[in-house]
Structure 1
């Protein structure tokens, strides 16, 4: 598969690998350096996402707003505040400066970042709060969302209409990068791999003993990571593999919640748990624990263009390199 198309990287961002820093569990492997903190104040952060060039970061949570920040100055670029309940997920389009948000109010909204955060579309039709959503990586006018009532909907931004419904809700949705034909939808202890063109479930990835909280693809689209309270797993697709589990890490006492692949070294998986980040070098099968937050890490995202990592929690959003 072809790699993702990245814009020019930020000139002033260094590599976030700093092997000389101290570690609580061992003294080898990758680490992260904290470079900025966005305080929660009266809100709680539940989601975050970088733009494709890494120059913007969107966050959302309990204050019913999504905020777009510039990652150079960390000043607010725009505030998106038309939802009536908390923001459950926020995603940048990989191709344009559009943002999609899902909410507990049962709606999905699409926003134009370049035009002062103007709301372009509001999609209704979900019977309950919408848990997660994602943009199609190669089609400008299609997003996907899921509600808690066992239903996934495909929306056309251009037409403002629902173009397909798949029975089978999910707590987290993520499109496979590049061609975007496959969608990973986590529900309960299973990840369904759905063919978006035919709306057929091609594969059910099973092996978790507890409910899955998070899924993420590596940039190539060949590897999918999933986390539950007790374990993180990495599954291989392509090259003759059909969802084979190739790596597994037990939580070692601290429950796992969210995950993202390292932005420049995909052999490292970053796992968010209660108060800490776990950096798992899968090649060496070694881990490093960083005390990162005062509360559960609710979301992670990484920018392949800038090398930045964002971790969200109810206390703050932190930016790392």
Structure 2
């Protein structure tokens, strides 16, 4: 048995929120289905935010309900506050991510709250969800943990303080997010060790961007430190509308190729994953599409894996 590594596709949320065009709901549903049928077991399908702020996410309720029809798929959504979490719960999402920026500047730009105010909002979400009949996972991310386009260098102590506060709020898991892609492998190793020393197995995931070209190197550093869950986006789409200079996420296709080539089990059929790019391009044809593996082609040395989902 090979060791499993989870890949969460965030393109439908993090990728499309920065797109200049709005992908039609029906096509977005087909795209998400194609990703799921390639074997991706978790997809962040949208965000429950005001449509006037992020119009690309206006159909998230419908998208969540459609995604729930995919067998075995864990359907996630991003929410900024309790109201968003309640909407995600009503739509049937299995879990929600909540952005909690370690950078005060980015926190106020993104959620109009300071860091600890946003932690308090997460605590409200936890308390509300625990009172409901159906469980829903709450998995916030420490955004801008590796640096910020607004505040610059973020002290490690502030990252630890934020992660500890989230763990104490009762969340199910915590992620470290390189929102603007400023991190480097040495920083990833140091931060993962330091945060894990304080919150243990609550630290589960890295959310990485490739702004400075170090995205996969940072993923490898996290992998070597025991991280077994990563966010990524098909074709490397993504960015944050409230973080100047943030570019795309690490490319799902390239991440899967690296992991599988190293002997890890993602459960993803790389050929089918690459084929899903066609639907993405159809929906947002003006957006650039990245990825070395799709560009070069899958080499003959690569051993194909059977997908998890039929």
Question: Normalising by the residue count of structure 1, what TM-score does the alignment of the two structures yield?
Answer: 0.32
Select the structure that is richer in strand.
Answer: 1
TM-score by length of structure 2 reads 0.33
Higher helix share: 2
